[in-house]
Structures are given as structure tokens and as C-alpha cells.
Amino acid sequence: MKFYSTNNKEVRLSVKEAVIKGLASDNGLFMPEVIPVLPESFFKNIEQRELPEIAFEVLKPFFTPDIPENKFLEIVQGAFTFDIPLKNIENSISVLELFHGPTSAFKDVGARFLARVLSWFVKDLDREVYVLAATSGDTGGAVANGFYNVEGVKVVVLYPSGMVSERQEKQFTTLGNNISALEIKGTFDDCQKLVKGAFLDEELNSKLFLTSANSINIARLLPQMVYYFYAYAWLKNKNSDLVVSVPSGNFGNLTAGVIAYKMGLPVNRFVAATNINDVVPQYLETGKYTPRTSVQTLANAMDVGDPSNFVRLLDVFGGDREQMNRLISGYVVDDKTIKKTIKDVYDNTGYVLDPHGACAYTALKALKKNPAEGVFLATAHPAKFPKVVEEQTGKTIPVPEEMKKFMSRNKQSFVMNPSSTELKKFLMK
């Protein structure tokens, strides 16, 4: 399969070229030339399939035969090694827990898959690859740990100083070896602009082999489709409309869900749940897309004022907002409501939400109509946000063993202004 830039559909690249480049030369994002529809036979017994088997069938059309099928099966089996359970917490509402991977965040899915795919694609290159990743929370840890000690790859994580939790920060600033962390004195949007600017710098790219590990990289985004199919497998016999609520920041997660829908996933509606950084819900309501400086909130991984993957959403719908509105609803949740939701859900059900899951739950409750079956995504372990979660629940949140090991390590980061010149100097050095 070939992949085109959202800025120029005439130029077609192989999946290998698209993954290695990360971002197209014209600043567009890569999209598959066709979204294949899965056969009915795939859905007939999907509830009997294991997660890696579902992943193999869903992703195979995009990555084979560029990657031989036997090798691709190894990649999938190596990436999807942890459980993604669906838990019912109240009548017709279930939570898909995406935080059981090595860094306790949903981004483990895409990052582990990307690391293995990229490692296969660059094995014959004669120079090291530099992976750049901007993070507003969980991407940094997932990418850093996914690529840790991968031969021939160096990772540089850029993050906004003081805007990620300590537990998130420790997961990518304490590794060393082939992982470097740049603490940017600015917002996540500044970090994202620096990464995109580096890809467009001709001198830098002539001397270094740069690629991206954010969801702008198509091999980070596509594997996120898999857990939507997996959730459907859990609910296949419910015989009711399915509504999925997605906590949304850079909109890669929702875009993956929409592509899954185009492949045949039986979803009646998606809910794009945001914090007060609401540029996409505003677009859905008014038709005007007005990016702006992001605002810091309790759901920090969603603090994005100009979501990169919005152009992919537009592309999937051919720029037709009415068509987008038929499938996607937007809903905005402020910090006060996040706190109240965490408290109320714990008091009523005993279930502990993180701030991002609280946004998705709130939006689902507001927009789902009975008798539809509702699923919301829990994208990060609540132990990553101890202050707000423990204040609202009155409960000490147990820290997963995988997360504990980072807390005793020393932070190693380089503080930097949001300057493309400074970033260029750092990378060249």
C-alpha cells in the first residue's frame, strides 16, 4: 500500500518511506491511499480471537508485504503483550482500560508497535536514526521506553516544563543511554512546533536522519485502531448501538477510531471529549477551526491548542463537516467537572478515574441515549495523577510496580527555550 501527504495526494510513498520520514516534506501527514474494509468473516467470530490475532488482521493490509507476513506477526506479538480489559461500571457503560502496558498509558500500544516496525525498516541504514517526540504527558514515557536500547536509534523527547506530572516526567527523564529529554520553557504546542520545524530544516535533515514518534507518524497512529475492534469483540453480543467516548488532545486516538469505523467497525457514534482546549468541538459546532495557545488543565495530556491530527480527520471526511458531525459529537469538560466526576464515580461505583477518563465518562453520560451501549477509554493509570485523584476519592492509589521503578531514579533533562536554533544546535552536537 502507498501513503500520500494530506497536503499533496499526488505523491505516493511506500509504508517504509512514510514511517521513516514521519512527516511529509510538505508538512503534511501521511494517510493510506485506501482504507480497506475487513471481510464479514473477520467479525463473525471476533469474540473468539486474541488481541494479537485481531491486531495482525487489522494492520496487515497497511504493512505487508513491505514487511514479510511472518516477520509482521512477530512484530505484532511482541507489541501487544499486555491486557486491555473492558469493565462494566454501571448499566450500559463500560470502560476500556488502556493503561496496563509498561508505562501505564494507552500510548504504549502505538509506541511499542512503532519501535518494532521502525527497527525493522532501519536495520540496513548506514547511520543512526533520531526519533523526535513532543509530549504533553504520556507520549514521552511510552516512546522512551518503547525505543530504550533499540540499536541504531536515538530518541529526543521535548516536553513543556512544569506541565507534566512528576510520575509522567520520571518515565522519560531517568533512562539515559539512547534517550534524551529536553525541558522546554513553553507549552506543548511550542514543543510540537519545534519538532515539525526540525523535519522541515533542510540543513538538519541533510546531516541527520530524523523521524517522528508522535501520532503524526502513521505507524504510531494505526495500531491504536486495534483496541476499538477488541472492545467490540467484548460487546459483540449486546445487540445495541455502540457509542465510544474518546478523551482527545492531539486527536490521534479519535482518528484511529474513525479509520477503524471506515474499515467496518460497527460503531454508531464517537464522542470527542476534550478539556477546555476545545478547538475541535468548536469546529464541529461552528465550522470554524481556530487554533490557539493551549491552556493548562488537570487532564494535561489533552492540553493541545492546535491538534496535529485534525487534518487527518478532515481528510477522512473529505473536508465535509456535516459528514463528520453525523459520526462525531464534541463535548467540553472543565477542571471543576473533572474533579466532581472523579468523586461521584468513586462514591457511586467504587471505580477510580484519572482526569482524562473523567472527561470521557462525563461526555458519554451527557450524550449517550438509552438503550445504546457506551464505552469510554481510560487512557492513563490514575496513579499518575495522585494529587487530584486522591483528593477526590480520599483513597491512596496503589502505584503499579512498573511505575515505581522510575520514581527512585534521578531526573536527567536539558532545559531549553522554545527556539528552533537551540534545538538545532543540540541535535547537531
DSSP string, 206-233: HHSEEEE-STTSHHHHGGGGHHHHHHHH
What cell does 335 get? 477542571
Q: What angle do CA 311, 316, 319 make, to 5 degrees?
A: 65
When comparing pLDDT for 24 and 150, which is higher?
Answer: 24
Residue 44 maps to a domain: no
Residue 59 forms part of a structural domain: no
For residue 82, count CB atoms less than 10 angstroms from its CB and return exposed for 0-12, middle for 13-18, buried for 19 or more: middle
Distance between CA 190 and CA 162 in Å, rounded? 14
Range in 122-136, 154-168, 288-302, 355-369 the model is least confident about: 122-136
Question: Residues 407, 136: contact at Cβ < 8 Å?
Answer: no
Cα angle 33, 39, 41; round to 5: 160
Q: Is residue 392 part of a domain?
A: yes
C-alpha–C-alpha distance, residues 112 and 98, integer Å: 13
Which element (helix H / strand E) includes 179? strand 179-184
Adjacency order of strands within the sheet including 30-32: 8-14, 2-5, 30-32
pLDDT of 381 = 95
Q: 163: which DSSP letter?
A: -
CATH of the domain at 324: 3.40.50.1100
Query: Are the C-beta atoms of 105 and 379 separated by less than 8 Å?
Result: yes
Summary mean pLDDT of the chain:
94
Tens-digit pLDDT profile for residues 36-49: 999 999 999 999 99
156 forms bridges with which residues in the sheet?
Answer: 132, 180
Q: Which of 240, 228, 218, 317 is nearest to 264 (CA)?
A: 228
pTM score, whole prediction:
0.92
In the block, residue with C-alpha cell 520520571: 170
> C-alpha grid cell for residue 261?
469505523
Instruction: Using DSSP bridges, classify how beta strands 269-274 and 179-184 pair: parallel, antiparallel or unpaired.
Output: unpaired
Examine residue 281 and state whether it is found in any structural domain, yes or no.
yes
Question: Residue 264: what pLDDT?
Answer: 97
Report if residue 67 sits inside a domain: no
CA dist., res. 346 & res. 328, Å (int): 28
Number of independent structural domains in the chain: 1
- CA-CA distance, 350 to 360, in Å (whole number)? 17
DSSP-derived secondary structure for 133-151: EE-SSSHHHHHHHHHTT-T
Beta carbons of 130 and 157 less than 8 angstroms apart: no
Residue that has been written with the C-alpha cell 486527536 in this structure: 251
Residue-wise pLDDT for 5-36, tens only, equals 999 999 899 999 999 989 898 999 999 999 99
Does the residue 126 lie in any domain? no
pLDDT of residue 191: 95
Which residues does residue 210 pair with via DSSP β-bridges, in sequence order? 130
C-alpha to C-alpha distance for 158 and 119, rounded to whole angstroms = 21
What's the whole-number mean pLDDT along residues 203-227?
93
**512503532: which residue's cell?**
114
Of residues 397 and 238, the one with the higher pLDDT is 397
Can you spell out the DSSP letters for 273-302?
EE-S--HHHHHHHHS----------SSGGG
Report the pLDDT value the prediction gives residue 170, as an integer from 0 to 100.
94
Is the model's pLDDT at 236 over the cut of 90?
no
The answer to whether residue 291 sits within a structural domain is yes
Q: What is the pLDDT of residue 429?
A: 84
- Distant-in-sequence, close-in-space partners of 251: CB < 8 Å, separation ≥ 6: 272, 280, 304, 307, 308, 309, 310, 312, 313
DSSP 317-343: TTT-HHHHHHHEEEEE--HHHHHHHHH
In a domain, 164, yes or no: no
Higher pLDDT, 122 or 419: 419
* CA dist list (Å): 153 to 120, 132, 202, 207: 11, 11, 20, 15
Please tell me the predicted confidence (pLDDT) of residue 239.
Answer: 66
Of 25, 22, 28, the closest CA to residue 7 belongs to 28
* pLDDT of 127 strictly over 90: no
Domain containing 305: what range? 83-104+221-399
- CA neighbor of 165 nearest in space, from 92, 241, 105, 210: 105
pLDDT at 291: 95
